[in-house]
Each structure stands twice: as structure tokens, then as C-alpha cells.
Amino acid sequence: MKNIFLKVSYDGTNYCGWQKQNNAVSIQQTLEKAISNITREDTELIASGRTDSGVHALGQVCNFKTSSNIPSQKFAYAINSKLPKDIRVIESKEVDFSFNARFSAKKKTYMYRIYNSEMANPFYYKYSMQVAKKLDMDLMSKNVNMLIGTYDWTSFYTYETNNPKNPVRTIYSADISKNNDMITFEIEGNGFLYNMVRIIVGTLIDIGLHKNERDIKQIIEKKDRLYAGATAKPQGLFLKEVCYQ
Amino acid sequence: MKNIFLKVSYDGTNYCGWQKQNNAVSIQQTLEKAISNITREDTELIASGRTDSGVHALGQVCNFKTSSNIPSQKFAYAINSKLPKDIRVIESKEVDFSFNARFSAKKKTYMYRIYNSEMANPFYYKYSMQVAKKLDMDLMSKNVNMLIGTYDWTSFYTYETNNPKNPVRTIYSADISKNNDMITFEIEGNGFLYNMVRIIVGTLIDIGLHKNERDIKQIIEKKDRLYAGATAKPQGLFLKEVCYQ
């Protein structure tokens, strides 16, 4: 038995998200089917975390165990030959048997794209959230800096029955920049609560539109979801990278 | 009666191209339906030219005549409210009654994107042509410069019964550049024959792979389609701009 690490990139538009569901096509199910097709075994994939419907990945990581004697590096090519074009395995390698894509993850980086233009763009609507009114980039930048540090993020996640008990996470870096009408936000942390990045972005948008007079620091201190903004749309979110060391 | 000019951007992936067809959905038909929905009139759209199935447009231009009293600049918003998200009218204005999007066009600019990477990318496959082997950019650049001028382009178009009799066209500028793995080719001319840009790109790719020992100048001189390369895939092609003065 070998433990195989996969780095995967996908356009989440046509999927119900990472996780298997009964009445919809998921990334996980599509990948497991392609792998089983190659290995002739049942496949159980473990991912670094779920992504929601419409959310994209540049570097999702997952792993599975197999008795197949396909060389580890060749798995990427073999699996890709069985996948639709909107999912690509960009790397495959053998890792230590103890490696678990979810529990071994040390850092994650997410990217969120905001298209700040009055006019919608047919090439961007699946890969960004459009905000028609001009956003105050200076004010947003100041607030992005307030995200860095170790905090209780209770104001910034969606309650679920299986939420982790501890809402403390550390953000190592956060950055926002603008290129023409496209704003790119990047955030790196040791972990993220459910919808945390999208709620942070929704709050930054409210701040950038001068619709929330509190700053990020004050909203963190409230420890109450009501003070943060709406959850920003899934199509602007990209899981960029997962680090394991 | 007014003559309305529209500038339109579209993702051509899900359409059979600009022109109306019996068994498939075209950009033209989708736009005419949206306009008729607003004006309550039959609509006949004239475009600067057709685009083929899968080809995109950043700035296609078309015009139609109407008795509607909707202010000309408001047409863009009104039509967009009736269109799918992959087609957007980005400008509308009234023009002289003699304006004809096809016959008044003086210059056109096309862009073609080549994704030069061994690994396919789930975000690029609808918006570029992938070439796995490394292309010789220096050699391609030299050949791109040979495109500029007034020539008989017989080597570079697909024969059709309704082809224009005169295969002479003037290319004002042509440029190729690379950013990471994405190569962008741009070409501006007074007009283009059927498939001309895609055949030029297919030929440049052969030259960049050292698979065609002739250069562009020599292939132009042959005046024979057999010496040029294959027609490059439609999904890499974008109609970027049409100029009328």
C-alpha cells in the first residue's frame, strides 16, 4: 500500500463543491471515479478541506491509499486522462503513510477576486464577485492589515453543527491590490473557519463602500457575527495553496 | 427611425458563433431576441463580421435600426437585462443612418492566446489553445514582423463559396509576447479573410516548433494554402476591436 499525494486545480462552476452529495456532481466524486477507473480499487480521497459550490481551487491537496503499482508521479497523467477538462491533477507523488491532507495541513492561502466595475464582464462573472460602486482601496488596505494576528474569529464564520470548538486562528499575511478594475485579496493562515474568507471579504466590501463604520479590529472584538458583512459570493473564491511543513 | 451602434463582449463557448443557424444558438439570435424584447419590433442586426463557434469577442460591433424612443445610451442597460451573462453590451449610441457595422469598418484587431505548457489548465482551456512543447519565441517574433504590410493572403485563408474576390489585405501591426506560460498574439489590419488569423497562428506555431522550415514571407509568396499550417483552435481567438474612422 502506498499513500499518494495529489495537487489539484479546478473550476468549481459546474460542481456542487468538493464534498460528495446525493443529487449533484461533486469534485470529490469525479476525482474518486477517475482514480478508481485507473486503479480498479475503491478510492477514498481525503482533502485539505471542503470547498463550497462555485468555489475554485488552484492548489487543493488530497491523498488516497492504493495498492496500485502505477509509478507515483505518473498518477497525475493517468488520472487526467479520465477527468473532465475543468479538473486537473497538477502533481502526484508518494508521501509517508502518516500523511493526511486534512490533519497534516499547516497553512492555507486563499485568493478572492472582486471585479469593481459598473459594467459586468462576460469573462469574469464565474471567477469574481462584481461590485458596481467604487470601493475605497485605501480604507480597505488599512483594514486588511488588521487581519494579521491570532484572534477569536467568532464574528467571521457561519455556524454549523460540526464547527470546531475553538474559533481561534492565526492569520500570517493578508494583502489587497488592484489591477485595472480587478481587486485581488490574498490571505494566509493556519486554518479557516466555515465561510471565514467570504465573510471577511463581505465585510471589507461594506467597509470599502462606507456602509460599515466599524473597522475589522472592532468587529473581531465584538465576537458576534451580526457586526460583520454578508458572506461574499462563492465564485470569487480560490483555494490557492496548502502548506504541510 | 434611429440607427443604433452596439459594442458587445461575449464568451463564445456556448454558442455556434455569431451567425444564425437552424439547430443551434447563435450570438446574433440571442441579441436580436433581447433587443426585440425591449423594442417590440423585429430586429435585424448587422455585425462587423461573423465569429465562428467558440470564438470570443471583447469588442464586436453591430448596429440595428429602430423606431423605439428608448434613449440611445440606455439601450446597453436595457438589452443587458434580457441577456445571458456570457453576452454583454458594453456601449450603445446613436450613429448616422448610413453607418453599417460591416461595410463601414476600417480596421480590426484580433487577439489569440496560446497556453504554452505541458500541463493543461482548467481555467484556460476555453480561452486559449494549449501547446505542450516549448515554442521558440525568438523565431516566432521574427516571423510576426513579416506579417506587417500589404500582401495577397491566398496561403492563409479557407476557401468558401462566398469568399471575396480580392485576397489582398493590409496588416498595420502585429505583436507577440509571453507572460509566464501564456503567449498573446495581436494583429491589426484593414480586414481579414475567412480563418486568416487562425491559419496565421497555426503557421506561427509550426514555425515555433521548427516543424515548418519556411518563414512567413516565403509562405505568403507561395500563394498556396498547402504551405501554411493548420487552422488554430477557435477558443484561443478574440475579436478585440473594430475601428470605424
Give A98-119 pLDDT, tens digit per residue: 999 999 999 999 999 999 999 9
Select which of A52, A175, A206, A215 is catalytic: A52
A245: pLDDT confidence band, cut at 50, 70 and 90? confident
Determine contact, residues A149/A171, Cβ cutoff 8 Å.
Answer: yes
pLDDT average, residue stretch A53-72: 97
Would the CB atoms of A121 and B88 count as touching at under 8 Å? yes
Q: How far apart are the first and last CA of chain A?
A: 24
A69: pLDDT confidence band, cut at 50, 70 and 90? very high
For residue B237, is pLDDT > 90?
A: yes
Residue A54: other Cβ atoms inside 10 A? 19
Residue A86 contacts B where some CB pair is shorter than 8 Å: yes
For residue B90, is pLDDT > 90?
A: yes
Task: Decide whether A2-95 matches A107-243 in CATH topology.
Answer: yes
Q: Which residues pair with A38 in a beta bridge?
A: none
pLDDT in tens, A1-25: 999 999 999 999 999 999 988 889 9
Residue A125 contacts B where some CB pair is shorter than 8 Å: yes
Check residue A9 and give its pLDDT.
98
DSSP string across A17-86:
BSS--SSS--HHHHHHHHHHHHHSS----EESS--BTT-EEEEEEEEEEE---S-GGGHHHHHHTTS-TT
Please tell me whether B110 is known to bind a ligand.
yes
Would the CB atoms of B85 and A127 count as touching at under 8 Å? no
Look over chain B and give the mean of its residue pLDDT values, rounded to a whole number.
96
pLDDT average, residue stretch A85-101: 97
For residue A160, is pLDDT > 80?
A: no
pLDDT in tens, B4-18: 999 999 999 999 999
Residue B81 contacts A where some CB pair is shorter than 8 Å: no
Check residue A193 and give its pLDDT.
94
Nearest Cα of chain B lies from the Cα of A101 at a distance, in angstroms, of 22
Would the CB atoms of B90 and A11 count as touching at under 8 Å? no
Domains of chain B, residue spans: 2-95, 107-243
Residue A215 contacts B where some CB pair is shorter than 8 Å: no
- Proportion of chain B above pLDDT 90, given as a percent: 94
Check residue B245 and give its pLDDT.
87
Determine contact, residues A38/A68, Cβ cutoff 8 Å.
Answer: yes
CATH number of A2-95: 3.30.70.580
**CA B18 vs CA A21, B10, B203, B232: distances in Å:** 38, 10, 25, 18
CATH architecture of B107-243: 2-Layer Sandwich (3.30)
Check residue A180 and give its pLDDT.
95
| Length of chain B measured in residues | 245
Look over chain A and give the mean of its residue pLDDT values, rounded to a whole number.
96
B52 part of the active site: yes
**CA B101 vs CA B6, B17, B63, B241: distances in Å:** 9, 17, 6, 12
Determine contact, residues B188/B171, Cβ cutoff 8 Å.
Answer: yes
Would the CB atoms of A122 and B86 count as touching at under 8 Å? yes
Residues with Cβ within 8 Å of residue B70, at least 6 apart in sequence: B38, B39, B78
Q: Is the ipTM of this complex over 0.85?
A: yes
Check residue A226 and give its pLDDT.
95
For residue B233, is pLDDT > 90?
A: yes
Q: How far apart are CA B40 and CA B52, in angstroms?
A: 29
Sign of CA dihedral B67, B68, B73, B76: negative
pLDDT in tens, B155-204: 999 887 776 789 999 999 999 999 999 999 999 999 999 999 999 999 99
For residue B149, is pLDDT > 90?
A: yes
pLDDT average, residue stretch A138-147: 98
